[in-house]
Structure 1
Amino acid sequence: MRSHRVFIAGPASWNRMVVLDRLPEPVPHMQFAEDSWETVGGTSAGKALSLTALGRDVLLYAQSADDEDGRRVRSALADAGVPALWETSVETERHLNLMTRAGERVSLYLSSPSESHGAEDARIRQAMSDADALVLDLAAEPLRLLPMAAETGVPIWVDVHDYDGEAEFHRPFLAVADAVFCNADRLTDPVAFLQARVASGASLAVCTLGADGAVAVDADGLEHRVAAVPVDVQDTNGAGDAFLAGVLDARLAGRGVRESLEAGARSASTVLGTRHLHPLLDAVLS
């Protein structure tokens, strides 16, 4: 087991996945699903699973209710070997994800965690201080924790997903980030965005490009590109989380930017062949 610990805060959910031949049009109509299943979701759960599989010491902090779906999420992650600190919420986060084989997706939030009252703050502060890297994902509770995280001085990694360069909710995360990850879905000029993040103080900024791999800008402003690892794709959910996990694991091991991006691409490829967030869940949720 590697000695470096990663603290991850953010969503862990219970999801219903529905595969369609096309995303629904905004008119009344009927469609038949090609496939459907239930599974663990949440970007933080995905990162925790991938880092666990890589042998990294992880602590996931997330919220769930003491209900059937909450117990499913907690049990599945525990059985997959992910250590977690859970705060009890009124509701468990649940999504309905409509997807196509081409990787298109619409995620409908059926319920979200309630506001935290800080019951676990002392344990969270200690866990953050003991970590070598903090991953704070886009959600209300990690947003609340940003000042506490910044006070620790531990490097903060953020994943702003399909950020458009303007949304207000993302800005506090970007302001404290040592490493920034995103995808190119809504950015007109990904490299310019990455350069701007490094100019603002980030030591690494990375944008995933789907089948075209990823591009990064390092602390010196140098651009790096890496190709995607060829693989038969069953489901793209969790690929971005696995990519970040692979890069983070490699950076903690002292690897350079290029080698770390290659590790991220390999990590992402491992989740594309499963319909769960990670193959660790295949036996747990079979």
Structure 2
Amino acid sequence: MSRDTDVLVLGGAGVDTIVYVPELPLPYADSYLIDSGIRTRAGQTGDFVAVGLSALGLRTHHLDLLGDDPEGDLVRALHRDRGIELTAVSQPAGTKRAVNLVGPDGRRLSLYDTSRAHPDDRLPEATVRALAATSRHAHVSITQPCAHTLPVLRETGVTISTDLHNWDGENDYHEPFAHTADLVFLSATALPDPERTMRRIVEHGRAQTVVATAGAEGAYLLTDDTLTHIPPATPPAPVIDTNGAGDAFAAAYLYGHLNGEPPYRCAAYGTLAGAHACTIPSTETAAMTRTELLARTEAP
């Protein structure tokens, strides 16, 4: 069967409202004047991964629930303008949304609106099967509808990756994702012992490789039973916003992975794309291109 899509991205479509604040945590006050503006733009984790993959030249298809609302229109426009295939399943509760408070040092605090999801939300099994059957790889967001797609994806034989984000290593909600994927990304932020958690993922699941991003410290790569520290990349401009850095890392890693590069080089790609993302304001969506990635890789 023809594999017309390089990566099928499942879940993680939505909009964020970006508010730049004078500091985090934000002290209580009756009001603040936000000179930089308060802006809503399309882009949550699945959107950012899809945009990153497409910018790197991979044929990408995004599948998720979207509302028939102005927020959903923003998501549709993002994909249309960038030539990314999008299959939007109707979501009567509306498009997922969040508010991101961003401090002067680029750190963020995200407020997620959970009212836009219901326990019985599902991505249609027939649609998942059909898209997976024509895809080389599937990247699965850790949303509740995507949890139900994991057995279906496994049956199709497509390889799977997921990003557990700031998992603490204990919350059992994340375990089906951690144990079903062939390649697992996560942040080291909430992990007391990243290596212990990474090895547990390999021990209890299918993953051959686990990557823990560590911000300015780079990343940690566990593959072939060996843990390796990946040095951080130097950002090409001042760091102004860390939003989307992990998604950029995952997209660049997958670019290398699907082009047959060894894990260490894939992770090095990830650090370059993540560093690039930290120089882009949250109000913009400007993923690193393949030309930029390869040029920075070859730079002395």
TM superposition score normalised by structure 2 = 0.86
Post-superposition Cα deviations, 1:9-50, rounded to whole Å, max 9, x if no partner, equal 011111111111223458564434353322122111110000
Post-superposition Cα deviations, 1:68-93, rounded to whole Å, max 9, x if no partner, equal 11111111221022211111111111
2:148 match: secondary structure: helix
TM superposition score normalised by structure 1 = 0.90
Structure 2 residue 255 is matched with structure 1 residue 249 = yes
Taking only the aligned residue pairs, the percentage that are identical comes to: 29
Paired position in structure 1 for 2:69: 67
1:132 match: secondary structure: strand
Match of 1:199 among 203, 207, 212: 203
Q: Which amino acid in structure 1 is aligned with residue 99 of structure 2?
A: L
Match of 1:235 among 220, 230, 241: 241
Paired position in structure 1 for 2:293: none
Post-superposition Cα deviations, 1:88-111, rounded to whole Å, max 9, x if no partner, equal 111111111112122332211234
Post-superposition Cα deviations, 1:215-239, rounded to whole Å, max 9, x if no partner, equal 1100x21122222221222211111
Paired position in structure 2 for 1:105: 108
Paired position in structure 1 for 2:298: none
- Alignment RMSD, CA only? 2.1
Distance of aligned partners of 1:177 and 1:53 in 2 relative to their CA distance in 1, 3 Å threshold: same
2:285 match: secondary structure: coil
What pairs with 1:132-211 in structure 2 (closer than 5 Å)? 132-200=136-204, 201-211=206-216
Q: Which amino acid in structure 2 is aligned with residue 65 of structure 1?
A: G
Contact 2:17/2:100 (CA < 8 Å) preserved in 1? Answer: yes
2:149 match: secondary structure: helix
Structure 2 residue 98 is matched with structure 1 residue 92 = no
Post-superposition Cα deviations, 1:105-157, rounded to whole Å, max 9, x if no partner, equal 22112342454355x43232111122221111110111121111121222210
Contact 1:80/1:280 (CA < 8 Å) preserved in 2? Answer: no
Paired position in structure 2 for 1:270: 276
Structure 2 residue 220 is matched with structure 1 residue 215 = yes
Distance of aligned partners of 1:37 and 1:55 in 2 relative to their CA distance in 1, 3 Å threshold: same
Q: Distance in 2 between matches of 1:99 and 1:32?
A: 14
Q: Distance in 2 between matches of 1:47 and 1:14?
A: 14
Contact 2:20/2:103 (CA < 8 Å) preserved in 1? Answer: yes
Contact 1:270/1:279 (CA < 8 Å) preserved in 2? Answer: no
Q: Distance in 2 between matches of 1:258 and 1:213?
A: 12
Paired position in structure 2 for 1:45: 47
Contact 1:63/1:113 (CA < 8 Å) preserved in 2? Answer: no
Contact 2:99/2:112 (CA < 8 Å) preserved in 1? Answer: yes
Gaps of 5+ in 2: 289-300
Measured after TM superposition, the shift of residue 4 of structure 1 is 6.1
Q: Distance in 1 between matches of 2:281 and 2:137?
A: 28
Q: Distance in 2 between matches of 1:262 and 1:228?
A: 8
Q: Distance in 1 between matches of 2:27 and 2:156?
A: 47
Q: Which amino acid in structure 2 is aligned with residue 279 of structure 1?
A: A
What pairs with 1:107-122 in structure 2 (closer than 5 Å)? 107-110=110-113, 111-114=115-118, 115-116=120-121, 118=123, 120-122=124-126
Paired position in structure 2 for 1:284: none
Measured after TM superposition, the shift of residue 160 of structure 1 is 0.4
Q: Which amino acid in structure 2 is aligned with residue 56 of structure 1?
A: L
Paired position in structure 2 for 1:258: 264
Gaps of 5+ in 1: 282-286
Match of 1:76 among 75, 78, 88: 78
2:98 match: secondary structure: strand
